[in-house]
Amino acid sequence: MKTSRRDFIQKTALFTGVFTLGFDWFSAEASPMEVVAGAGRFNAFLSIDSLGKITLFSPNPEIGQGIKTAFPVVVAEELDVDWAQVQVEQANLDTKQFERQLTGGSGALKHSWERLRKAGATVRKMMMQAAANQWKVDVAQCKTSKGFVLGPAGQKASYGSLAEAASTLPVPSDVTFKDRKDYKIIGTRVKGVDNKNVVTGKPLFGIDIRKPGMVFAQIVRPPFGATLKSFSAEDVKKMPGILDVVSFKNKVAIVGENTYAILQARASLTCDYSSEAPLESNDTHANWFDEGMKSDKAQVMRKDGDFAAAIASAAKVIEATYECPFISHSPMEPMNFFADVKADSVLLAGPTQVPQPAQKAVSDLLKIPVDKIQVELSKMGGGFGRRLSNDFVLEAAELSSIIKKPVLVMWTREDDMTGGTYRPAARYRFKAGLDKNGEIIAFALRGVGLNAGNSTRQDNFPVGAIENVLIESIDQKSAVTTGPWRAPITNFLGFAEQAFLDEVAEAAGKDPIQMRLALLEKVKTKPVGKITYEPARFEEVIKQVAEKAQWKKKPGVHQGFSVYYSHLSYVAQIAEVKVEKGKPKVTKVTAVTDCGEVVNLSGAENQVKGAIIDGMGHALFAKLNFQKGVASPANFNAYRMIRGNEIPVIEAHFVNNGIAPTGLGEPALPPTGGSIANAIYAATKKRHYKQPFN
Amino acid sequence: MAINCTVNKKKVSLDIDPNTPLLWALRDHLSLLGTKYGCGIAQCGACTVWVNGEPTRSCVLPISAVSNALITTIEGLDPAGKHPVQVAWDELDVPQCGYCQAGQIMTAAGLLKKNPQPTDQEIVDGMSGNICRCGTYHRIQEAVKLASKKTKK
C-alpha cells in the first residue's frame, strides 16, 4: 500500500495545543491534493488534539444508511484507537478535498474502504515513529493499543502527546493494514453517532434549518404536463403573515413568516392551467405499455444465441407479464431546502444526496461560479433516492434570487407525494422455453418503462447460464417525472425475475433452489456471454439461507425463495407465509447477505431489515394513480405505508468472508417482493403479477 | 387573545392565530424543532407530543385547545437523554434516519407511563400508529420492551 505525498497533508499548530493531520478520503491518484486553507477550515482530515481526542469528519451525506458511523469505524480501526475517543463530525461539501461526496448506489464503502484504512494506518505508523524517535528505539519494537504507542521497555505514550512530533515526520510510503482477526471495532455493533442527538430532539434535519432573516415558502406546482396560465395573487398577498406571492417556471411560490400562514394562504390561491397535449391518466399509461409490448422498435440490450429458434423448438413455453405503478419515495422528512442567494454568492443548506450536482445546477441556473456557492449538509430524514434529484434545491435557489431573501422552501406531504420524481412505472414480459428434460434453453425479457431509461438489467442471472437469450428495453416518454428509487429498476424487476423463475421451476418440475444451483453450476462450467456476478458467492448465500430457514423441512410452513445480486452484494431470502382467516400473512423472512466485510453489524442489520420491510410494504400497498396529470393519493391516509403491526420476523445473517465491503443500503430490497410472492403462491396457489399485491 | 400554556415546564404565551396547529406553534413560534412534521393529518405520528400527559398528534390540534395545558415535547422528556425510553433507543441503536423517532419516543414513553409492563402485543398495538419509513419497527418494539424493564428496576 503506497501513500503518496499528495494523498496526505500535514498542518501544524493551527490552534494552540491542536494539530491536524489531514488526509484526502477520496483522492484519486491523478488529482493533486490541495492544501487546506486557513485555520478553522476543516475539510478532509483526521485531527488529534493534545488530549488525544480524535475528530473524524465524515464527508458523505447521512440519510439513515449509517455512513456517518461506518466510515469513521474503519479509520478508527486502522488508527487503533478506542471508539469512545472518537468524535465524528459531518463535513460540508468540499469538491477540492472530496471525491464522490454523495449518497447513492450503495457505493460509499466500496469506494472508500482502501482510502479509509490507509488514512488510519498511516497516522498510526507516524505515531509509532514519533514514539520510537522519542524513546530512541526501533519503530519495529513499538506497538499500539487504544490510542497509545507502547514501547519495548514498557514505555507508553498517548497519541495526543505524540501528535505534534508526529506531524513533523515524513509521511510513510508503505503502510500495512491490520489482519482482520485483530479487528476490535469493525464487525462489532457500533451505535449510530447521532443517536444521542436524535433521542433528545436536536435540530439535525433540513426542515430544522433556521438562519438570520430567513423566511418560509411553499410552492404550488402544476399537474404533470400542464402550463400555468394565471393565478390569483392579490388577495393572497394581503393575508396575515404573507410576504409575497411570486411565480416562476409554471410554479407559484407563497412566501410567509410562518408555516401556518402559508398553509392558509394556499387554501385561498387558485391557479389556472392549460396544456397542449392531453394530460396523462392511468389509461394513458396502460396504452403506452401495450404499445411498447407490440413495438418493433425495442432496443436490444443483450442477445446470446438465437432465442427465436430456440423458443420455437421448446417442449414447453412459460410466459408471464408483470407490472408496477409509479410510486413516491415518501421519506418521513418531506423535501425542503434552504437558499440564500446574494449578488455574487450563494449559501445552500439542507438534505441532498448529491451536493456537488446541486452546487453545479445552481451555478448554471444563476450564473454564479461554483466556488461562490457554499453547500451545508444536513442530516436527511430518509430519501430512498428522492434526494438525488435536485429540483427542490433549484426551486429554493431560484425563489431566493427572486425575493432576495434567505428562504426555507418546505414541501407539504401532499406536495411531496404529488410533486413527482417517482419510481418509474414499468411492465415486463418474460418468456422461457424448456426442453423435454425441463432445462431452460431460451429466455427473453422485454421491459417497457415510463421514463425509466433501460428498464432491464440485461446481465442479471439467470442470463449467463442460458444458451439463447434476448433482452429488450423500450422507454416511453411521460410528463410524469421519475428518478432513482432505492435499488433503481431492480426494486421491481427483482420481484418480476424471481417470481418468474419460481414459475419456471414449477413448470420444469424442479425445486426452485435446486434449479438455481444447477444454473449457477452451468455459469461456472459453461458460461454464456458476459458474466457480471460471481457464481460461487451466489451459491454460498443460497446454501446458507436454505440451511438457516430449513427450506422445505418445516411441515405446514409455506416458503418462498429468492436470491438477488445488486450493488455488488448478494442476498438470498426465504419468506414464510401462513394463512389466517383465509388471507396469507407473511410471518418470517430469513435473509443471508454477502456484502463482504460487515463494518458495523448493528448498522448492517438495520439496513437489511429496513430494506426488507421497505420492499414488503411497497410490494403490498403502494400505488399512485393519475387523472389528468394529477397524482393521487396525496397523503398517508390513502397511500398505505407498512406499519409496525404488519412486519414479519426477520433474521438477518451475513456471510463471513472478509472480502472488501460492498453495498448494503439497497441490496436486500430487490429480492423481497419475490420471496414473499413465491411464499404466498406456495400457501394459496395464487400468483401475483402486479404491484401492489393488495 | 394570547393562549397561555406550559411547554416543557416553562410558561409560554402564544399571541398568534388560535387555529394554528400546536406543531407549527412549537416549531415556528417557540423554536422547539424536535417535534417533526410528517403528514399534517394525524396519520404518521411524527408530531406526537404530550398534552396533559397524553400522547397527542400536534399537527391537527389547534392551540386554542391547549389553553392552560401542560405540554411536553421531545426536548422536555429528559434533556439529558436519560429517560429509560431514550436510553433504550440508543442502546438498541434504533434510529436509521432518525426523523420519526421523536414521535416514536413520545408515543413509547406515553405508553409506558400508562402501562409500565406491556405485553408484546400491547407494544405492537401501541406503537403501530407511528410510521417509520426506514423500517426500524423491530428495534422500536424491542426498545419499548427494554425501557419497560429499565423502568421496573
Q: A540-573, pLDDT tens digit by residue?
A: 999 999 999 999 999 989 999 999 999 999 999 9
Give the pLDDT mean for A94-116. Answer: 80
Confidence class of residue A522 from pLDDT cuts 50, 70 and 90?
very high
* Per-residue pLDDT at B40 exceeds 90: yes
**Complex ipTM > 0.90:** yes
For residue A258, give the chain B residue with the closest CA. Answer: B28
* Per-residue pLDDT at A1 exceeds 60: no
Angle at B30 between CA B25 and CA B36, to 5 degrees: 60
Residue A87: exposure state from Cβ atoms within 10 A (0-12, 13-18, ≥19)? middle
Is B33 close to A210, i.e. CB distance below 8 A? yes
Q: What pLDDT score does A22 carry? A: 39
- Provide the 10 A C-beta neighbour count for residue A573: 32
Site from A67, A259, A332 to mutate, B interface, most B CB atoms within 10 angstroms: A332
Among B33, B78, B137, select the one facing A644 at the smallest CB separation: B137
Site from B96, B127, B142 to mutate, A interface, most A CB atoms within 10 angstroms: B96
* Per-residue pLDDT at A268 exceeds 70: yes
Confidence class of residue B153 from pLDDT cuts 50, 70 and 90?
low
Q: What pLDDT score does A248 carry? A: 98
Is A381 close to B99, i.e. CB distance below 8 A? yes
Nearest-CA distance B42 → chain A (Å): 9
Whether B15 has its CB under 8 Å from any CB of chain A: the answer is no
* Per-residue pLDDT at A486 exceeds 80: yes
Is A201 close to B102, i.e. CB distance below 8 A? yes
CB A501 within 8 A of CB A511: no
Whether B119 has its CB under 8 Å from any CB of chain A: the answer is no
Q: What pLDDT score does A27 carry? A: 32
Nearest-CA distance A200 → chain B (Å): 6
Q: Which helix (H) or strand (E) is A675 found in, with range? A: helix A670-684
A191: which chain B residues are within 8 Å (Cβ-Cβ)? 90-91, 93
Q: What pLDDT score does A15 carry? A: 28
Give the pLDDT mean for A612-625. Answer: 97
CB A318 within 8 A of CB A503: yes
Whether B91 has its CB under 8 Å from any CB of chain A: the answer is yes
Place of cell 457554499: A374
Is B37 close to A645, i.e. CB distance below 8 A? no
A414: which chain B residues are within 8 Å (Cβ-Cβ)? 40
Is B96 close to A64, i.e. CB distance below 8 A? yes
Amino acid sitting at position A597: E
**What is the rounded average pLDDT for all residues in chain A?**
91
A87 backbone dihedrals φ, ψ, rounded to 5°: -115, 135
Q: How many whole angstroms separate alpha carbon A530 and alpha carbon A445? A: 17
For residue B124, give the chain A residue with the closest CA. Answer: A645
Among A198, A636, A647, select the one facing B137 at the smallest CB separation: A647
A199: which chain B residues are within 8 Å (Cβ-Cβ)? 74, 81, 86, 89-90, 95, 101, 105
For residue B87, give the chain A residue with the closest CA. Answer: A199
Is B137 close to A240, i.e. CB distance below 8 A? no
* Per-residue pLDDT at A37 exceeds 70: no
